[in-house]
Amino acid sequence: MPEIALNPEIVLLIFLPPLLYDAAFNISSKQLRLNLPTVTTLAIPLVFFTTTAIAACIYYLLPEMTWPIAFVLGAILSPPDAVAATGITRGLGLSSRTLTILEGESLVNDTSGLLTFFH
């Protein structure tokens, strides 16, 4: 199978924005503002905690792994996918508030993950 080389900047500029826009388009901005404290409390600290936990596990499981690379891997793996969360929760019959919190958290998770990755 041929190796495909894809520039990460292309993914960030072309593929990621439409996916996030689609997920954000379905959220009520009024509901998101009302639930913003819950969304940010769940999203930001948990992504940083998960990033650190993954980095520690990788660092101690793979002796050749350095801390910076372990944290980069943790930042890549820690945020859940906003598009997957939206697709999974649509047919479950959850309350509007719960859906808003889950979808909003998924969108903020991506931002937290990107900030961790680029920091």
The H helix count followed by the E strand count for the chain is: 7, 0
> Helix 36-61 crosses helix 67-77 at what angle (to 10 degrees)?
140
The yes-or-no verdict on residue 71 having pLDDT over 80 is yes
The yes-or-no verdict on residue 44 having pLDDT over 70 is yes
pTM of the model: 0.66
**Domain locations along the chain:** 31-118
Dihedral angle sign, alpha carbons of residues 47, 48, 51, 56: negative
pLDDT tens column, 74-110: 888 887 766 677 677 777 888 888 878 877 887 777 7
